[in-house]
Homo-oligomer: A and B are copies of this chain.
């Protein structure tokens, strides 16, 4: 990564404004159709500055990939308790972390998601391995050292993992759609988390061994 010293010396707020604007633009339109004009307008800076901070569109894009991967690993993954052996409990906590992360970085997830769907052939080898490492890390953070014995004997645990994960994703998307346009910080999360718990408890009562079950 080239220096971009000038950008790194900016006050944190401005940095974030620019990065969020750029992440949003790229994740919504893809590399080619992303517009630097829209980025500077959204970020509230002059056109010249973007190319003062980053030598061109491409370098900005690479910077964003590094940034997004860093944020994901340091501000999200690292906060999840991998000691928790109960899959559903671990998920409950990870979702709370995710909400806080999303409030600060509303576009990092979408950006990385779009990057995942993109043909990565054109990425530098270094970036690609970093990205793949991040994916592996995300995987193990969800599944490593999970206590399989909590699940009923008559259901396939790996498939159950998937079902639970997909359900959470679906619930998330529904929330994002429902609260579209509202500031995350302005939303009262308590009833949301409560409802979320109810959903997960259904999985607990139906996928887990119940007290009194013959082992």
List of B residues within 8 angstroms of A160 by Cβ: 202
Cβ contact of A170, chosen from B154, B156, B169, cutoff 8 A: B169
Contact partners of A203 in chain B: CB under 8 A: 163
A49 at the interface (CB under 8 A from B): no
Q: With a CB–CB cut-off of 8 A, which chain B residues contact A167?
A: 162-163, 166-167, 170
Compute how far the CA of A178 lies from the CA of B62 in the bound complex, rounded to whole angstroms: 26
Give the residue of B155, B169, B177, B202 whose beta carbon is less than 8 angstroms from that of A202.
B155
The 8 Å CB contact of A156, one of B117, B162, B169, B202, is B202
Establish whether residues B156 and A198, one from each chain, have CB atoms under 8 Å apart when the complex forms. yes
B205 and A154: CB pair below 8 A? Answer: yes
Is chain A's binding surface mostly helix, strand, loop or mixed?
helix
CB distance from A212 to the nearest CB of B (A): 13
Count A-side interface residues using an 8 Å CB cutoff: 25
Residue in B154, B159, B171 whose beta carbon sits within 8 Å of that of A166 in the complex: B171
Residue in contact with A177 in the complex, picked from B29, B117, B155, B171, CB distance below 8 Å: B117
Is A139 at the interface (CB under 8 A from chain B)?
no
Question: Given the complex, which residues of B lie within 8 Å of A54, measured CB to CB?
Answer: none
With A159-B198, A198-B159: A170-B166 Cβ-Cβ less than 8 Å: yes
Given the complex of chains A and B, what is the CA–CA distance between A170 and B166 in angstroms? 5
Q: Check: A67 CB closer than 8 A to any chain B CB.
A: no
Interchain CA distance A57-B202 in the complex, whole Å: 48
Q: List 16 A-B contacts (CB under 8 A).
A: A29-B33, A33-B33, A154-B205, A155-B202, A155-B205, A155-B206, A159-B202, A162-B170, A162-B171, A163-B163, A163-B199, A163-B202, A166-B166, A166-B167, A167-B167, A169-B170
